[in-house]
């Protein structure tokens, strides 16, 4: 699948995935210009073993519930930016209805129609987009 292929590409380029591992801390050092840069991280596996790993670049895929990780990063003055919040709702439409709407007659001779739902709303002067994702035409 797509995710497996992405992971394999990252591994081929020298990346490492550490599942069931907790990031305990990270250490920085000053470079020749006095800027902080990542030196190493400390991780703990699910058996309680801790390991110090040299590291100059770190990508975290923590999910939304890793409050302990965010607190630790905040205390180390790591620059962070809040991501926009998204919520999903399931909307189901019969493929026959989509085909009829998109093809405007005689859809039985055509492949399943593709479509998306979008809407822009304005509240208190702020425009927000509402959009569909994970569309499975014909599925």
In this structure, how many other beta carbons lie within 10 angstroms of the beta carbon of residue 41? 19
- Residue 136, pLDDT score: 62
Q: pLDDT per residue over 94-123, tens digit each?
A: 888 888 888 887 777 888 888 777 888 898
Q: What is the pTM of this model?
A: 0.55
Give CA–CA dist 50/18, Å, rounded: 13
Residue 27, strand partner residues: 40
Pairing, β 21-30 against β 118-123:
unpaired
Task: State mean pLDDT over 55-68.
Answer: 82
Domain boundaries in the chain? Answer: 2-75, 84-139
Which pair of tokens denotes residue 124? 């208190």
Q: pLDDT per residue over 37-53, tens digit each?
A: 899 999 999 999 999 99
Give CA–CA dist 66/61, Å, rounded: 10
Q: What is the DSSP letter of 137?
A: T
- Of the CA atoms within 13 Å of residue 96, those in its CB half-sphere come to 0
């Amino acid at each position: 699948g797509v995710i497996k292929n992405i992971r394999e590409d990252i591994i081929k380029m020298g990346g490492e995935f550490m599942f069931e591992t907790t990031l305990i801390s990270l250490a920085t050092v000053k470079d020749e210009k006095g800027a902080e840069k990542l030196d190493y991280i400390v991780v703990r596996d699910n058996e309680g073993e801790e390991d110090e790993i040299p590291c100059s670049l770190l990508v975290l895929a923590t999910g939304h519930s890793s409050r302990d990780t965010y607190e630790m990063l905040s205390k180390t003055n790591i620059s962070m930016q809040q991501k926009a919040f998204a919520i999903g709702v399931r909307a189901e439409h019969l493929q026959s209805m989509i085909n009829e709407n998109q093809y405007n007659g005689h859809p039985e001779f055509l492949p399943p129609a593709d479509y998306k739902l979008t809407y822009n709303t304005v509240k208190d002067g702020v425009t927000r987009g509402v959009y569909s994702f994970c569309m499975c035409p014909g599925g």
